[in-house]
Structure 1
């Protein structure tokens, strides 16, 4: 069998969910969709019956996974807030308060270091081109890499802090209950 015909490894991106059942293919399509899409558009991508697509899309809307926009026709889009909420809940479930606090401290140190290096409060306040042109040590790619890492650290710290607060609140409720 030629390498291109091999069944090992992930499927091609275009057919990433082709082996799954219809529910999984619709879910996967929603995850990949960046703009609101009609049930018909999703039906075409998933290759399923339109009634089946609507049934699952409405169910995903009830669960909060997608947002349904009424209109003619109705459109559906991924609900990023749902996935953020889910990530925070998972962090709170997987880590103790102490572990979450340690991670918040580590991320805060990393953020503070970037603030000092770039003499700015946020990555958006940094002129990457000017910094790179004024540096003998940093290329523009280095600066953009730092800015991306800095922004990621800020977002991750927010998630870990929210998980810590959630976990602290849950443990406080258990202690008083």
Structure 2
């Protein structure tokens, strides 16, 4: 191998000092876990370990390990055997969300948030002239009101979000742990 030109060679005074990186920062694996967690959260249909690995940008073996771990935690559910197929466990994620809401807000704040969400829900129902967002035909309503399909779709999805928010707030206020509304056993 040829020596670099003299102006490119470092002498002892020019050698930069690097602070050593602690080994636990090099091997802690949080980014990989986060990549798989993000991939699992984005699932809208059952996926194989290979498909989850592709979404996460990591190998299939790592995907299998993380999926098994996520299944033990309740974040995913295995729905197929050969090949192993997993789906996001939305019930678990909703439960975690309710727990976080309970930790973050007082009952008084939750009641205030619920009242505002209920008012917004009523305003949507009045504006659309129906009781639920699922009863809105986006294209028909856009044509009837001379709005763009995009505008109507955005309003309908905002209404759906409001309905989901109401359900979560009610669960947080009433102490229910499941979407069905049951209360925890004591």
TM-score of the superposition, structure 2-length normalised? Answer: 0.67
What are the Cα deviations for residues 53-95 of structure 1, in whole angstroms up to 9, with x where unaligned?
3332211101001112341222222212211111111111100
Distance 1:98 1:42 in 2: 41
Equivalent position of 1:133 in the other structure? 143
Task: Return closer, same or farther for 1:111/1:24 CA change in 2, 3 Å cut-off.
Answer: closer
In structure 1, the gaps of 5 or more residues are 1-18, 168-177
Name the CA distance, whole Å, in 1 between partners of 2:171 and 2:97: 10
1:125 offset after TM fit, Å? 1.6
Task: Say if 1:73 and 1:100 are closer, same or farther in 2 by CA, change over 3 A.
Answer: same
Counterpart CA distance in 2 for 1:142 and 1:121 is 19
- Residue 134 of structure 1, CA deviation: 3.2
The 1:154/1:46 distance shift into structure 2, 3 A limit, reads same
Measure how far apart 1:140 and its partner are: 3.8
1:163 matched to 2:172? The reply is yes
Q: Name which structure has the greater RCO, CA cutoff 8 Å, separation 6+.
A: 1
Q: Which has the larger radius of gyration?
A: 2
Select the structure that is richer in helix.
1
Give the one of 47, 64, 70 matched to 1:54. Answer: 64
Q: How many residues align?
A: 148
RMSD between superposed Cα atoms in Å: 2.7
Report how far residue 113 of structure 1 moved. Answer: 1.4
